[in-house]
Amino acid sequence: MIAYFLPAIIALGIYTSYTDIRYGKIKNTAIFGAIIYSLFMHIFLLFVLEVGTNKDYIIHMTSNFIIALLAGFFLWDMKLWSSGDGKLFTAYSALIPILIYNQSSFVPYFPSLNLFINTFIPIFVFFAINVILMTHWKQKKDSIMNVLKIRDLAPQFISFFVFIWLLTFISEKWGMQLPYLIIIPILFTISLFSQSTLGQKHLLKIMGICSILILALSRKVYNLHFLKMLLVTFIIFIIFRLIFLDLSFQHFSRKIKISNLRQGMIPAEIIYESGTDKDKSGKNQDNRLRKKKLLFFSFFEYLANKNQKSIISCCTEGLSEKDIKKLRILRDKHPNFQYLRIQQSLPFAPFMFFGVLLTLLARGSIILLIRTL
């Protein structure tokens, strides 16, 4: 069955990888052409060759496409990838027939979750190797000291304890076993959403009360399997944060003069207004500008501060002319504000194409395939 879709998959992968690397764009004509091809091919297989005519196949195929479309939009809205990347993910989800997934990798209603995981594994490896090899020892030392602050680790560990208990409870009820690669981003996102909504102090109080109740009422937490999952997940989280939210900021961004900013450049910093203070003489002291890191994986930083008003829009499509005008006005008002850190461009389409090839090779999750070797 894959033979009917493989030419379109390879053509889409090569073309979009080229345009993303060369021009930094993924053209809609390629995306919509692939989706239309997939639609006609599925109709041909269903009604002419009578392949996959059972009801379950049609339901899973349809739900997979819809969920992929919604996931692509959600991740674009969360600043994780561009709109073109989201549409490309949807196109690949339509082109990969769900019958290629083996039983151990098949995720009901959304088997393209395997494609998502297989795409981000090479990205993780690429980032990790680059950051570890290309950063200085002092940068590594400073990042380690920053990540391992006890005052930050303690509340994070308490939150992880509660959320991991909740995830294991839900997954057992649904009969699912979530891999660590899925658990980490879920926990991180839930934690930061909770922090931005409730505030760190209120969140810590709520998590503390929940932890006491869980310890008192649940026997599951005294199980070695649960303790192992908690510790392993938390250690992976620390490594994830060290590589992607600290070390990667210096390595994958560069300082650009405000006067040299161009439309389409993607900021590596969010700029907030923090008001004014008075100095000892009673005069207003301007402290309005405050910067926060925002890199490819550091959209978590954006989520943690989403309630604060950003001066420029945090958009994966890059700076607009309006944003650049605002920044130049701010530069004129604030003499110390002369530079903005800009992300180095990283084409996403080649990684997704590689993820597709891994998905076809493994017939699902590449992690499960490696485990069986």
- Tokens, residue 137: 């020892």
| CATH number of the domain encompassing residue 367 | 1.20.120
pLDDT at 118: 93
Give the pLDDT mean for 215-222.
Answer: 87
Residues 54 and 136 occupy one common structural domain: no
Give the pLDDT mean for 24-31.
Answer: 92
The band of 35, judged by pLDDT with boundaries at 50, 70 and 90, is: very high
Residues 188 and 136 occupy one common structural domain: yes
Reported as a single tens digit per residue, the pLDDT across 41-97 is: 988 888 877 765 678 888 999 999 999 999 998 888 766 688 899 999 999 999 999
pLDDT at 200 > cutoff 90: no
Q: Which long-range contacts (CB under 8 A, 24 or more apart) does 282-288 make?
A: 286/334, 288/334
pLDDT at 305 > cutoff 60: no
* Top-confidence residue, 173 or 145: 145
Kindly report which listed range (75-79, 106-110, 143-147, 366-370) carries the lowest average pLDDT score.
75-79
End of a domain among 251, 278, 296? 251
Residues 235 and 272 occupy one common structural domain: no
* Top-confidence residue, 176 or 250: 250
Domain carrying residue 359:
2-118+348-372
- Tokens, residue 133: 């090899």
pLDDT at 128: 83
pLDDT at 298: 46
Residues 36 and 131 occupy one common structural domain: no
Residues 114 and 196 occupy one common structural domain: no
pLDDT at 145: 83
Kindly report which listed range (103-117, 190-204, 228-242) carries the lowest average pLDDT score.
190-204
3-state secondary structure 293-362: ECCCCCHHHHHHCCCCCECCCCCCCCCCHHHHHHHHHHHHHCCCCCEEEEECCCCCHHHHHHHHHHHHHH
* Top-confidence residue, 148 or 117: 117
Task: Quickly list H helices, the chain.
Answer: 6-23, 28-47, 55-77, 83-95, 113-134, 137-147, 150-174, 180-198, 200-217, 224-241, 248-251, 299-304, 321-333, 349-362, 366-372
Residues 6 and 75 occupy one common structural domain: yes
Residues 101 and 149 occupy one common structural domain: no
Percent of the chain with pLDDT over 90: 25
Residues 185 and 260 occupy one common structural domain: no
Residues 172 and 146 occupy one common structural domain: yes
Tell me what the pLDDT averaged over the chain comes to. Answer: 81
Reported as a single tens digit per residue, the pLDDT across 234-262 is: 888 788 777 766 777 777 788 899 999 98
Cα separation, 236 vs 34, in Å, equals 37
pLDDT at 195 > cutoff 70: no
pLDDT at 11 > cutoff 90: yes
Reported as a single tens digit per residue, the pLDDT across 279-302 is: 444 444 445 677 776 654 444 455
Number of domains in the chain: 3
Residues 188 and 150 occupy one common structural domain: yes
End of a domain among 231, 251, 271? 251
End of a domain among 251, 286, 312? 251
pLDDT at 372 > cutoff 90: no
Percent of the chain with pLDDT over 70: 80
pLDDT at 190: 66
Residues 259 and 220 occupy one common structural domain: no
pLDDT at 277 > cutoff 80: no
Residues 242 and 257 occupy one common structural domain: no
* Top-confidence residue, 36 or 347: 36
